[in-house]
Amino acid sequence: MYEFHGWATIRKTPANVDEEGLYEIADEIRSHIAKLNWGNNILNLHAVNGIYHILLAGCSNRKPINEDNPVEFFEYIARLTPGSYGILYVMDDEDTDGFDNEFRVYVLSRGRVLEKKDVYLSPFIPIVEDEE
């Protein structure tokens, strides 16, 4: 199972200034989202009080590939809008790098996506689920 939950706030730059052109960037993000094959997973862009936010969540039988992978989507946002920031939690019980029993945390900030260790819900067994 591949489970993910995340959010991002869209900003053009890390500077603390009123940003113009976010409407056009939001349109570009919407166009990008429309091309993705996310099935019944959640990927929404909303404006709240003039600030754009992305919410994403889902559960798949297998890890999504290419642009349909939520980490790849976060990297797209980092490239397009380097002032954006957010968090993405991913649990892949078929991970082959030894992370099959833990969430990985992807931190979006300053045009980068960094992978971090989860300290709240990992190891998944026994923190969340009982051992069999």
DSSP result, 28-56? HHHHHHHH---TTSEEEEEEETTEEEEEE
pLDDT (tens, 9 = 90+) of the chain, 132 residues, equals 999 999 999 999 988 776 788 899 999 999 999 999 888 899 999 999 989 999 999 999 888 877 789 999 999 999 999 999 999 999 999 999 999 999 999 999 999 999 999 999 999 999 999 998
> Among positive and negative, which fits the CA dihedral 109, 113, 116, 119?
positive
CA of residue 23 relative to chain centroid, distance: 21
Domain that holds residue 123: 2-127
Q: How many domains are there within the chain?
A: 1
Residue 132 lies in a domain: no
Residue 114 lies in a domain: yes
- Encoding tokens for residue 90? 């991913």
